[in-house]
Amino acid sequence: MAKIIVGVMGPGSASEETLATAEKLGQLIAEQGWILLTGGRNAGVMDATSRGAKESGGLTVGILPTGDRSGMSPNVDIPIVTDVGSARNNINVLSSEIVIACGVGMGTISEVLLAAKAGKYVILLHQTSSSKAFLEEFSSPRIHFVFTAEEAITLAKELLQRQSNN
């Protein structure tokens, strides 16, 4: 039976604080027994959160934009080699039962928008006042803002429960 897959999206370059949260998210996701899915590259939030999941004995999937494994995070267990460039952003969000976005970047917010458009729940951390104001304007019941990795996981559990009841 399919395992629970939670995606963590975030920029390839991020602040220490954002990376620390990403790592913590990975740890907590692994502790829940969920599979962590990221964009798979050896950079920023993708790498930090995958490292966190491995520290807690989790399993990590990386959806790579490239046509081979070059540039892959060493913390990815299962690299999916798409060779579709940024079009893989849509695969990231469709493959995740819940999308957690940690930090702000062009690719990251494109994923948040694609996720919400596809009817996915999205939980956001480390947003700026302008990214928050922009995303709130859509008035989407799918988009949620939290402050800590722990809050993100608590909310993810609730939302997964709500989804499985539907």
Footprint on this chain of a copy of itself (rule: CB under 8 A):
1-3, 5, 35, 61, 63, 67-69, 72, 74, 76-91, 94-95, 104, 106-107, 109-110, 113-114, 116-118, 128, 130-131, 133-134, 136-138
Q: How far is the CB of 133 from a copy of itself (least distance, A)?
A: 5
Q: Which is nearer to a copy of itself, 133 or 162 (CB)?
A: 133
Q: Would you call 166 exposed, middle or buried from its count of C-beta atoms within 10 A (0-12, 13-18, 19+)? A: exposed
What is the C-alpha to C-alpha distance for residues 139 and 66, in angstroms, rounded to an integer?
35
Residue whose CB is less far from a copy of itself, 20 or 107: 107
What is the 8-class DSSP label of residue 87? Answer: G
Q: Looking at beta carbons only, is 7 or 149 nearer to a copy of itself?
A: 7
H-type alpha helices, 61-148: 88-95, 106-117, 129-136
